[in-house]
Chain A
Amino acid sequence: MDDRKAEAVPQVEHDSVKSSEERVKQALENARQAVKPIVKQEMEGELVSNELLSVRLRSPK
């Protein structure tokens, strides 16, 4: 058996796993950047003001 050949197979698999992992990592990071404006808008909207806390709810029946 060719020793070099035997070693080469796991190396290819290892590279493929590594590249798949990198691809997913990159996709998640790109996605995070792409949705940043929506996320920022939703987060900033949650800030509660004193004015809002003082809104009185009392409608006549």
Chain B
Amino acid sequence: MPPGRYEYPTTDIAVSPFAGDVRSFFPKPQGLVESEWPPTQVEYLGIYLKEIGCKTILVEGHYMDRDYVYDVALFYSRSLRSYPNYCQRLHFFSQEFDQQTWRSMVVESASREKAGKFLRDCYLGFSVVKPLPGSPLGRTVLPTLGPEAKSGAKRFFGAVRPYQVHVAGFELEVVGLVFQQQDQGVSACATTALWSAMHNVTKAEGLTVLTPAEITEAASRYALPTGRALPSEGLTIQQICEATRAAGLQPVLIPSVSLDHDRAQLLAYLSSGFAPVLALQPLSGSGVGHAVCAVGLKISQIRPQSNPELHFKDRATSVTGIYIHDDRLGPYATAELVSWTAENGKIRTAVFIRWPDADVPAEQSLLQAIIVPIPSKLRMSLTRIRALAHGLAQAAAVLFPEFTGHIVFNCRYQLAHDYLANAAKFGLSEDGSYELQCKTVLSRFVGLIEITNEDEPLFDVLLDATETLANPSALAVVSRNGLPAKYHPELTNIARQFAARLIL
């Protein structure tokens, strides 16, 4: 726009059929493009949209994106080139409709409600297209893959949330976790992974979600081992922790120990609704570390106990893979978790990342650490909860002999009100149900140990998650449907040993 002219931009909403890829929405920029075009993320988006059954794309010509506006304010506004401060937004639908039908849905007041329902029912999510030549794929929220993988394994996405979307006065919704391509101007892979990871928990905690630019700034405030903050030279794990604290959350930093340990951490945090950032070291290439955000789990059979002295099983052994947001690839990329013998002979956890339609892994990396942004008052570590759970499961196998060999334990965190909301299904007596819901004081998040007979719940132990030691912090021992009444005396004594309230 020439100086002195201050018109508002014009816009329209255009309908386009989805023909199998989205390359046409990301035109190749003029001049020398240093990397491949279209970017891998754009190709991945096309493949993923095909997988989830996209038929129609609605293009919003002028869209103000909060995350991008911050990027512009912090970085791009001071460039020689005039970067626009607005984006385009693509909306994806699983039904076919054309421009004329869209117009009718918008203008015909008599059928507006019906049109809204039609759009809501077939809405698949959105992608923001940033006017940046090198990294056009902005904030993207798409639904997860279905509940069952082709192999028969179960998929579980614990760190997703609903996003409300408004277009032409229609309110639509997509359940997923936000993703975007890394933009080296303001964010490297670690920034983007942390941004995705914090999106669910900050919303649940009533905190403001930091934009990628704000994360980079917060990470660089007190420590700059990489020389300069912007353009982003990547983050260290320490800086990821710093940025997490700046967002009002606390970082739990867990070094990768073994496949069993890592699986247990991933299962517990993801099933508690917290998305972990994974620090990876590629097995080949430059040796530069990479960060991704874990969103979901691939679950198969629980493995039998390998130690003949122990008579219980660990639910975490059922985790065979994870679904990750990899900013070099796309959302919900599949990754296998496997044991790997490193050069020094140590057994490590390896992560094999795959494309949705490929059998060969796109990249193989070693897991170095798991960083989980969690609410500040969640103080009890998962490892401490598991320490208690291991012993409890072993004791249960001895005390409840008919279940020996079938006792399974699982640990996670849960909001107390979510736990209580399900109490009616626990098979408690009226007194027990009242005692649990009205007379038991619970912390906002409880540390939850679930002891089951394979998949049938036997009893739960609720721990005060605001405490630092698991053992003296048991709030209640709660009987569940699968525990026969003949074992109530044993459960009573378990509660007594834990100094916890007994709920039968």
Q: List 12 A-B contacts (CB under 8 A).
A: A27-B399, A30-B394, A31-B398, A42-B264, A52-B237, A52-B255, A53-B253, A55-B237, A58-B188, A58-B288, A59-B328, A61-B327
List residues 19-61 of chain A with CB under 8 A from any CB of chain B: 20-21, 23-25, 27-28, 30-32, 34-35, 38-39, 41-43, 45-49, 52-61
Q: What bracket does the count of chain B residues touching chain A fall in?
A: 35 or more
B contacts with A: majority SS: mixed
Cα of A27 to Cα of B490 in the assembled complex, Å: 10
Chain B 26-65 interface 0/1 with A at a Cβ cutoff of 8 Å (1 = within): 0000000001000100000000000000000000000000
B235: chain A residues at CB < 8 Å are 56-58
Q: Are B282 and A59 in contact (CB under 8 A)?
A: yes
A41: chain B residues at CB < 8 Å are 257-258, 261
Q: Are B368 and A52 in contact (CB under 8 A)?
A: yes
Q: Are B383 and A43 in contact (CB under 8 A)?
A: yes
Q: Are A55 and B490 in contact (CB under 8 A)?
A: no
Q: Does B90 belong to the interface (CB within 8 Å)?
A: no
Cα of A11 to Cα of B92 in the assembled complex, Å: 74
Q: Are A57 and B253 in contact (CB under 8 A)?
A: no
A contacts with B: majority SS: helix
Partner of A55, one of B236, B309, B392, B493: B236
Cα of A55 to Cα of B239 in the assembled complex, Å: 10
Q: Does B404 belong to the interface (CB within 8 Å)?
A: no
Q: Does B415 belong to the interface (CB within 8 Å)?
A: no
Residues of A within 8 A of B (CB): 17, 20-21, 23-25, 27-28, 30-32, 34-35, 38-39, 41-43, 45-49, 52-61
Q: Are B390 and A48 in contact (CB under 8 A)?
A: no
B188: chain A residues at CB < 8 Å are 57-59
Q: Are B236 and A56 in contact (CB under 8 A)?
A: yes
Cα of A32 to Cα of B386 in the assembled complex, Å: 12
Cα of A25 to Cα of B490 in the assembled complex, Å: 10
Q: Are B398 and A27 in contact (CB under 8 A)?
A: yes
Q: Does B199 belong to the interface (CB within 8 Å)?
A: no
A39: chain B residues at CB < 8 Å are 386-387, 390-391
List residues 228-254 of chain B with CB under 8 A from any CB of chain A: 232-238, 240-241, 253-254
B496: chain A residues at CB < 8 Å are 21, 24
User: Of all chain A residues, which has the CB nearest B264?
Assistant: A42
B115: chain A residues at CB < 8 Å are none
